[in-house]
Structure 1
Amino acid sequence: MLKAIRQDLKAVFDRDPAATSRLEVILTYAGFHALLIYRIAHWLKSYNVPFVPRALSQLARWLTGIEIHPSAKIGTGFFIDHGMGVVIGETAEVGDYVTLFQGVTLGGTGKERGKRHPTLGNHVVVGAGAKILGGIKIGDNVKIGANSVVIKNVPPNSTVIGVPARVIKTQGERLPDVTMDQTNLPDPISDRFAALEQELIELRKKLEQRDSQLPF
C-alpha cells in the first residue's frame, strides 16, 4: 500500500504542471486525498473489516466530492485531476498510470449483477465528464474525449469520442504521451457535414456546367 501511495504522489508531479511541492499536494489536492483514503479503505476491505471501509469511502466523498468504492481495484500511478464528481463503482478495475479528469463516472447500467462496472487498462486517459458504463473493457493507451458516453469495449491504442462513443482513431503502437489535447479532438459529425457541403458544391458546379451547354 505504501508503494502505491508513493507512486500516486509521483503521478501528480508527472502529470500536473501546477504541482510545485510535495507539501502542497499532500495538503491541498482533493484527488490525492480521496485516493489516499481509498487505499486505506481497500486494504481494510481486503481483510474483511466490516463497516469501516464504507464509512471511510463516504467520508472521502464528503470531504473531496470524489466517491471511490473500497472494493474497486486501482493500480499504481493513478491520478485524478481536480476530481469533483468522480465516481468509481464497486467492481471497477483500473490499471496502472491512468488519469481521470473531473466528473468522470466508472459506473454500471443498473441491470447487471456481478461484474457490472468497467475495466480500464494501463495508461488510459479519460476526459472531463465522460461516462464509462457497464462491465466493458477499455484497452491500454486509450484516450476518451470529454463528455463521451462509452458503453462498448474499446480496443487498445484508440481514441473515442461522442454519445454514444465511437472509435475515431486507432494506432498499431502506443500513443506517445499520457495527456489529452481536448481542443484538437476530431468531430465526426462536423466532418460529415463538411463532406456533405463539399458534395453539394460539386453537384452545383456540374448542374451549372450542364445548363451552360444547353442550346436554350
Structure 2
Amino acid sequence: MNLFELIASDYKKHKKYGGNFFTIVFFTQGFWAVFQYRIAHCIFSNVKWQPFRFLLIFMGLASQKIIEIVTGISIPASAKIGHSFYIGHFGGIIINANAIIGNNCNISQGVTIGVSGRGSNRGVPVIGDEVYIGVNAVISGSIIVGNQVVIGACSLVNTSLEENSVVLGVPAIVISKNGSKGYI
C-alpha cells in the first residue's frame, strides 16, 4: 500500500468507531499520532538521497517529538505497522523503534511494546494481524504474538502467543481460544 492508502485505511478504521471527518482529523490524538507516523515512516523508508534524507528525517523527528508531547504517544518512524491501525484513547503509548505490528490492530491507552529479556530472549515483539491490546498492557521481549489475539488490560506478555489466544494477567496466561473477533 502507498502512503495515501495507508492513511485512508487508518482514517476508515477510526471512522468505524464513531466520529466524522472533523472530529477525527481535529480532535482524535490517536489519529494524529498514526498520521505523523505514516509520513515519517514513508520518509524513513523511501528517501535515500543524503542531503534531503537528513533534512526530512530531522523534520520528522521534530514533528514526532511534538506529537509525543501533545498526545503522549510515541511511534518512531522505523517501527513497522500494517494498515488500519487504531489507537483508541489518549496517551501513554510507547512503541519500540524495532517493533513490528500487523494489519488491523487496536491499541488502548498506556500500552508499551518494548525491548526486554536476556541473552537470546532479548529483543522486541512481532505482533500479528487483528490483535487487540488492552489498557496498560506491556508486551516485551523477543516474542511472537499470533494473529487474532486479545491481550487483556494490565497484562504482561513476555512469552510467545498462538493465534486466537485470549490472555490476561501478570505474567499473561491463556484464558481462552476465542480470539479477537468482536474486539476489532
The interval holding the TM-score normalised by the smaller chain is 0.7 to 0.9
What pairs up with 1:4-15 in 2 under 5 angstroms?
4-14=6-16
Question: Does residue 1:176 correspond to 2:184, yes or no?
Answer: no
Looking at structure 1, the residues matched to 35 and 180 of structure 2 have their Cα atoms a distance apart, in angstroms, of: 29
Unaligned runs of 5+ in 1: 180-216
How does the TM-score come out when normalised to structure 1?
0.75
What pairs up with 1:126-141 in 2 under 5 angstroms?
126-141=133-148
1:156 alignment partner, one of 125, 140, 163: 163
Q: Report sequence identity in percent.
A: 35
Count residues in correspondence: 173
TM-superposed CA distance for 1:112, in Å, is 6.7
Unaligned runs of 5+ in 2: none
TM-superposed CA distance for 1:139, in Å, is 0.4
2:40 partner letter: A
Question: Which structure exhibits the higher relative contact order, with contacts defined as CA atoms closer than 8 Å and separated by 6 or more residues?
Answer: 2
Which residue pairs with 2:21 in the alignment?
22
How does the TM-score come out when normalised to structure 2?
0.87
Question: Does residue 1:88 correspond to 2:124, yes or no?
Answer: no
TM-superposed CA distance for 1:111, in Å, is 5.2
Q: Please, what is the CA RMSD of the aligned residues?
A: 1.8
- Provide the secondary structure at the position in 2 that maps to 1:43: helix
List, as ranges, runs of 4+ consecutive aligned residues in structure 1 with deviation greater than 4 Å. Answer: 110-113
What pairs up with 1:11-160 in 2 under 5 angstroms?
11-14=13-16, 16=17, 19-46=18-45, 47-48=47-48, 49-50=53-54, 51-109=58-116, 116-160=123-167
Cα deviation 1:7-43 (Å, max 9, x = unaligned): 00000122x2xx3311110000000000111111111
- Provide the secondary structure at the position in 2 that maps to 1:36: helix
2:76 partner letter: H
- Provide the secondary structure at the position in 1 that maps to 2:37: helix
